[in-house]
C-alpha cells in the first residue's frame, strides 16, 4: 500500500522525501512502514532530494525567473534539507541572477505604460515578489529605464540605486517580526 501511494505520487512529478512522508502519513501509514519504504526508495535512487533541488532551482529560475531567496523558501516548504538547498542554490550565481532580473524587466518594460516613476515602482515590486534583493532589483530597473527612452533615462539618472537598496534593506529589517 505504501509503495503504491509513493509510486502514484512520483508518477505525477518528482517529490522530496518529506513530501512522500506527508502523503503516507495522510493515508494513515505508520512511521515505521513509511521510513522503511522511503529508505529503500532512497537506496535505489527513486527519491533523491539533491537532484530534486537542483532540478527545481534550474526549472523555477529559468521558467519563472525566481531569485535565490524565493527558491530557498520554496525548497524549504518542499521539505528539502537546508544544506541540500544551499548546495543547489549555489549553482545560481549573482551574475546569472542579475541577468535574469534584467531580462524580466526588459520583457515587462515593452508593455509598461505610465510615468517613469510609476513604471519604476511596479518593476521593482515585481522583482521583489520574485525574491530579488533590493540592490539587484533597483539596478536592473534603473539600467533598463536608462536604455528605454530619453525621458526614462533622465529619470533613471536621478536614481541612487545604492541609497535606495540601503533604505529597502533597512525597511525589510524593521518590518520583520520580533522573536
The values of phi and psi at residue 131, to 5°, are 95, 10
The predicted-structure confidence for 120-169, as pLDDT tens digits, reads as follows: 889 999 999 999 998 899 889 988 888 876 666 677 677 665 655 565 55
Using alpha carbons, list the distances in angstroms from residue 71 to 54, 138, 140. 11, 20, 19
Question: What does the alpha-carbon distance between residue 104 and residue 64 come to, in Å, rounded to a whole number?
Answer: 9
Q: How many CA atoms lie within 13 A of 28 on its CB side?
A: 0
The predicted-structure confidence for 77-109, as pLDDT tens digits, reads as follows: 999 999 999 999 998 888 999 999 999 999 999
Amino acid at each position: 500500500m505504501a509503495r503504491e501511494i509513493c509510486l502514484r505520487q512520483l508518477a505525477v512529478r518528482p517529490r522530496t522525501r518529506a513530501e512522500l512522508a506527508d502523503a503516507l502519513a495522510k493515508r494513515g501509514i505508520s512511521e515505521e512502514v513509511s521510513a522503511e519504504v522511503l529508505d529503500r526508495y532512497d537506496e535505489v535512487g527513486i527519491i533523491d532530494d539533491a537532484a530534486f533541488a537542483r532540478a527545481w532551482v534550474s526549472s523555477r529560475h529559468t521558467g519563472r525567473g525566481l531569485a535565490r531567496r524565493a527558491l530557498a523558501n520554496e525548497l524549504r516548504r518542499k521539505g528539502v534539507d537546508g544544506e541540500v538547498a544551499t548546495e543547489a542554490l549555489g549553482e545560481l550565481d549573482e551574475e546569472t541572477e542579475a541577468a535574469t532580473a534584467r531580462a524580466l524587466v526588459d520583457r515587462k518594460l515593452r508593455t509598461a505604460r505610465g510615468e517613469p516613476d510609476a513604471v519604476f515602482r511596479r518593476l521593482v515590486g515585481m522583482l521583489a515578489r520574485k525574491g530579488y534583493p533590493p540592490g539587484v532589483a533597483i539596478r536592473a530597473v534603473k539600467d533598463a529605464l536608462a536604455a528605454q527612452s530619453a525621458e526614462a533615462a533622465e529619470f533613471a539618472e536621478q536614481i541612487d540605486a545604492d541609497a535606495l537598496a540601503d533604505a529597502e534593506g533597512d525597511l525589510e529589517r524593521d518590518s520583520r517580526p520580533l522573536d
